[in-house]
């Protein structure tokens, strides 16, 4: 009779629900990673903290564009428009209206939401390729408008107030701030994909007509998705404005930035929760190393690496990380600590 038990445990009766893979490896990994990242500033110098802060900012933007592009299928190549708007809202309100930084940051996020909703009304109606182009056009025209307004300082830009704290403190502040926003947007993404909204977006991406026929209000969901995307991208811009202490239209409304964050989300894995963060991390750090080390040929090396990686890892980096037999690894680790009465290792699930 005892011989029966293991077989039931390992071969469930036909029709029975398959056991879900344990979440434990993921949670352990996340906890370890978070601890690592939170403690990092204790050992890092100012320069690397700043580098990582910028990486986090790009990760926020990649993760944000993922919501509208990776999940909903609306490829907003020009999403950096919200980065610029967010940066300028913070810039203008803190210098002209004496709004405190934290309030300005919130305003930046909300302002971008408003912008995305208003402009989304006509633009989200466009399909695929046209939406993509429209967002690029939006980026460019917003830049031109900002450039020509007086309140934004035009081409001379805005110098945001320098905080009266030591450089070390300031570096840490921005590091944790960016990290916090990043954690939030990742969590929001995770939440979305677990609930109805995620389902709706995936349906829209797959076939919007069919989704509408099934009663999914695609306009509502698309607008929400873009609004969320805009909110966080705007926050990233706001943080950046203070971080850099100087913004100008040409640098915050840059096509290169917009393309980069879009590519990072594709690179890491569009439509996944952690993919864009990974993509941003890898691409930004890689580009940092290459630039520092191979000054004259850094573009050549970076470009070649990008081409090679897309050829060999086209599904996005995260898909290959998933392939690592984490469950076997996890089971093995657990097994090290547990033995059943027969002296054999108990397997998980």
Partner 1 sequence: MRDSRKLALGLICLLSLALLVAGCGGGSTTTTAAQDSSTTVSPASTTTEPGPAKVIKIGSSAPLTGALAAEGVLVKEGYEFWRDTINAKGGIDVGGDMYQVELILYDDKSDAPTAAKLTEKLITEDKVNFLLSPYSSGLTVSTSATAEKYKIVNIAPLANATKVYNRGLKYVFSVLWPTSIDVSNLVEMLPAEGITVNKIAVVYPDDLFPAAGAAGAMETAKQLNIPTVDIKYPKGLKDLSGVVADIKKSEAEAVISTAFFEDATLILRQMNEQGIKPKLLAFHDAVNLQPDFVDAVGVELAEGVCGRSEFWPIEQYSDDVFGTGVQFAEDITAKYNHPWTYHQAAAAAAGLILQKAIESAGTLDNEKVREALLSMDIMTFFSPIKFGSMDFQGETMENVNVKGKPLSVQVQSGELEVVYPEDFQTAKLEYPKPW
Partner 2 sequence: MGGELMQAVVNGLLLGGFYAILGVGFSLVYGVMGIINLAHASLVMIGAYLTFTFFSGWGLDPFLSLPIVAVVLFIFCWLTQKYILNSLIRRGFLGMTVVSTFGLNLVLINIALLIWSANYRGVVTSYSGVAFDFVGVRLPLVRIIILVLSLVITYVLYQFLKRTKTGKAIRAVALNRDAAQLMGINVYGIYSITFGIGGALAGMAGGLLSPISSITPFMGGPLLGIVFSVAVLGGLGNVNGAVLAGVVLGVAQVVGVYFLGTPWQLAISYAIFILVLLFRPQGIMGVKFVR
Among 28, 32, 39, 45, binds partner 1 (CB under 8 A): 45
Left, alpha or beta for 31 (phi > 0: left; psi -120 to 50: alpha)? alpha
- The set of long-range contacts for 3-12, using a CB threshold of 8 Å and a minimum separation of 24, is 10/347
Contact, 172 vs 41, CB < 8 A? yes
| 287 near partner 1 (CB under 8 A) | no
Dihedrals phi, psi of 247, to nearest 5 degrees: -130, 150
Token pair for 193: 């994909």
Nearer to partner 2, 210 or 307 (CB): 307
The CA-CA-CA angle for residues 123, 129, 132, to 5°, reads 55
CB within 8 Å of 52: residues ≥ 6 apart: 40, 44, 175
Stretch 63-82: interaction string toward partner 1, x if CB under 8 A: --------------------
Among 105, 108, 270, 280, binds partner 2 (CB under 8 A): 270
| 255 near partner 1 (CB under 8 A) | no
- Within 307-336, which residues bind partner 2 (CB under 8 A)? 307, 310-311, 314-315
- The Cα-based distances of 282 to 28, 289, 294 in angstroms read 21, 11, 17
Nearer to partner 2, 195 or 322 (CB): 322
Binding span for partner 1 by CB under 8 A among 33-41, 193-201, 309-317, 339-347: 309-317
Q: How crowded is residue 123: how many other Cβ atoms within 10 Å of its Cβ?
A: 18
Query: Smallest distance, Å, CB 63 to partner 2?
Result: 17
Interaxial angle between packed helices 24-39 and 326-337, expressed in degrees from 0 to 180 and rounded to the nearest 10: 90
Nearer to partner 2, 19 or 141 (CB): 141
Contact, 84 vs 142, CB < 8 A? yes
| 201 near partner 2 (CB under 8 A) | no
Identify the three-state secondary structure at position 158: strand
Binding span for partner 1 by CB under 8 A among 32-40, 114-122, 178-186, 287-295: 287-295
Query: Which among partner 1, partner 2, none contacts residue 137 (Cβ within 5 to 8 A by kind)?
Result: partner 2
Burial class (CB within 10 angstroms; exposed 0-12, middle 13-18, buried 19+) of 156:
exposed
Would you tell me which residues interact with partner 1 (CB under 8 A)? 45-48, 50-51, 54, 144, 147-148, 154-156, 159, 162, 167, 244-246, 248, 250-251, 286, 289-293, 295-296, 298-299, 301, 305, 308-309, 312-313, 320
Would you tell me which residues interact with partner 2 (CB under 8 A)? 75, 77, 122-123, 126-127, 129-130, 132-134, 136-138, 140-141, 144-145, 148, 255-256, 259, 262-263, 266-267, 270, 296-300, 302-307, 310-311, 314-315
């Amino acid at each position: 009779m005892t011989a029966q038990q293991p077989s039931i445990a390992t071969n469930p009766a036909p029709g029975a629900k398959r056991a879900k893979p344990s979440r434990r490896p993921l949670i352990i990994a996340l906890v370890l990673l978070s601890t690592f990242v939170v403690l990092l500033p204790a050992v890092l110098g100012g320069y690397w903290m700043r580098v990582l802060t910028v990486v986090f900012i790009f990760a926020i933007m990649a993760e944000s564009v993922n919501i509208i592009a990776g999940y909903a299928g609306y490829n907003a190549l020009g999403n950096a428009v919200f980065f610029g708007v967010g940066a300028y809202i913070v810039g203008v309100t803190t210098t002209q209206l004496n709004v405190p930084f934290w309030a300005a940051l919130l305003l930046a996020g909300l302002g971008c939401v408003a912008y995305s909703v208003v402009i989304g009304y006509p633009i989200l109606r466009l399909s695929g390729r046209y939406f993509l182009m429209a967002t690029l056009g939006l980026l460019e025209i917003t830049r031109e408008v900002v450039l020509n307004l007086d309140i934004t300082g035009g081409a001379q830009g805005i110098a945001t107030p320098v905080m009266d704290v030591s450089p070390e403190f300031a570096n840490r502040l921005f590091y944790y701030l960016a990290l916090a926003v990043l954690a939030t947007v990742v969590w929001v993404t995770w939440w979305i994909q677990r609930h109805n909204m995620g389902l709706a977006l995936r349906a829209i991406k797959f076939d919007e007509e069919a989704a509408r026929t099934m009663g999914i209000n695609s306009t509502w969901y698309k607008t929400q998705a873009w609004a969320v995307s805009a909110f966080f991208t705007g926050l990233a811009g706001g943080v950046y404005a203070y971080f850099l202490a100087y913004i100008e239209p040409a640098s915050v409304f840059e096509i290169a930035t917009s393309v980069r964050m879009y590519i990072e989300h594709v690179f890491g894995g569009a439509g996944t929760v952690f993919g864009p963060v990974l993509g941003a991390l890898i691409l930004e750090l890689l580009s940092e190393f290459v630039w520092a080390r191979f000054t004259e040929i850094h573009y050549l090396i970076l470009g070649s690496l990008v081409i090679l990686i897309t050829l060999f890892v086209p599904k996005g980096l995260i898909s290959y990380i998933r392939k690592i037999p984490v469950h076997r690894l996890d089971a093995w680790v657990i097994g090290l600590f547990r033995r059943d009465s027969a002296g054999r290792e108990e397997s998980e699930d």
